[in-house]
Chains A and B, each alone.
Chain A
Amino acid sequence: MTQLDPQWIEKARHGDDEAFTMLVNTYQTPVYNLCYRMLGESTAAEDAAQETFWRAYQNLKRYDPQRSFATWLLSIAAHYCIDQQRKQKVGIFELDEYPDFDLADPGIPNPEAEVIDNDEDEALHRMINELNPPDRAAVILKYWYGCSEEEISQILSLTVSAVKSRLHRARRQMAAAIASKQSIPVKEG
């Protein structure tokens, strides 16, 4: 993940708005990506990412410089998205909204190759969205951000054993999703 010169963080902590805007510019994509993967919709993801930066701005004095700034931001974003999901209860992506995707046959030329990426993205959202929000956050942090179980435990305010348990459950659910719905078009290779 992109790292920023600590002097910008220090300047922002002392009330320099330009420095904080620099932080927003640097970390906008990792924060937005996390929100997008959690919420599955671009408008909600942008709102959540903006809210994450606003909360970070308001609580910057409480930030511990010994911690990674990126991890701190992701923690705010993950908690906000989990809260949003809990409030909504019903997920943004309902299973019925999407048609079933067949496994792609790599031997046959596919005239819809240009839209495959979108199909894959939607199918991925569908699979991820079946997980409960904290499990989803753990999976996203583990596989998209390469966070260790210790880092995930810090970000989500869980114990390491709770993170392991959540990841175990999430993997079982995802494997079951593939088995029952074949929701991910498998690529060759």
Chain B
Amino acid sequence: MEHQPYKTWILDEEDLSDDQQRRLNDHLAVCPECAQLSENLNSALVAIREAPEVTAPVGFTQRWSAALAARKREEEKQQARSLGIALGSTAIVIAVGMMLIFVPEVSLISMTAGLITTLVSVLDGMQTAVSFTTTLFKSLSPATLILLFGIAGGWLLLASFTLGLSVWKLAIKKVENK
């Protein structure tokens, strides 16, 4: 049996002319397949049309207002961060540019060379200090060493005790203020 154009008419939901409607009704009366299609579609659409509108949960608007405030704060923070980074970068670029313009003898190469020289001097100084301390410890008698370590240890203990006391006092004050 030919099911077209009847299936298309059923599924398209277009307005049919009187003649088309009569032809469709005649076909549905003799074609179980198209009649079943029409009935099934009707059941589906009835189920959809009869389903109620689901209302928004209680407090939806309040949650919206709270989320809006939080999002705005976050956006402001983000803007402030972006502004800070932009200003900082600009300041650095301007400072480097001005230095290169107004201090002609300072070039990028001379700045790098100066930095390396300073680094080498610091390392050399540290090596001298270590070597001096080692020589000093070797030349001192055991009794003098014990005395020196005793004094240093005492100072360390006293400093730790003072720090601990200050922290404890601050903590107590915070608890009292609460």
Binding site for B on A (CB under 8 A): 17, 21, 24-25, 28-33, 36-37, 42, 45-46, 49-50, 53-54, 57, 120-121, 123-124, 127-128, 139, 143-144, 164, 167-168, 171-172, 174-179, 184, 186-187
Contacts and interface: CB of A to CB of B under 8 A. Distances in A.
Nearest to B37: A175
Given A21-B61, A168-B11, A144 B56 contact: no
Interface residues on B, range: 20 to 34
Contacts of B57: 32, 42, 46
A50 to B, nearest CB: 6
Interface of B: 8, 11-13, 36-37, 40-41, 43-51, 53-57, 60-61, 63-65, 67-68, 71
Given A32-B55, A33-B53, A46-B57, A21 B65 contact: yes
A80 B140 CA distance: 80
A143 B45 contact: yes
A178 B47 CA distance: 11
Given A143-B48, A174-B45, A187-B50, 12 more contacts: A28-B64, A29-B53, A33-B54, A33-B55, A46-B56, A139-B48, A143-B49, A171-B13, A174-B44, A177-B44, A178-B43, A184-B44
Contacts of B64: 21, 24, 28, 50, 53
Nearest to B75: A58
B71 A184 contact: no
A49 B60 contact: yes
A32 B13 contact: no
Contacts of A176: 40
A121 B54 CA distance: 10
B53 A124 contact: no
Contact of A50 (B12, B41, B67): B67
Contact of A28 (B8, B36, B40, B61): B61
16 contacts: A17-B68, A24-B64, A32-B57, A33-B54, A46-B63, A54-B68, A143-B45, A144-B48, A144-B53, A168-B11, A168-B12, A171-B45, A174-B41, A179-B37, A184-B43, A184-B44
Contact of B46 (A29, A128, A187): A187
Contact of B60 (A46, A168, A178, A187): A46
Contacts of A57: 68
Nearest to A173: B44
B53 to A, nearest CB: 5
Given A54-B71, A57-B68, A171-B41, A29 B55 contact: yes
Contacts of A187: 46, 50
Given A24-B61, A50-B64, A164-B12, A120 B51 contact: yes
A32 B46 CA distance: 22
Contacts of B50: 187
Nearest to A57: B68
A168 B51 CA distance: 21
A53 B46 CA distance: 31
Nearest to A27: B56
Contacts of B63: 46, 50
Nearest to B45: A143
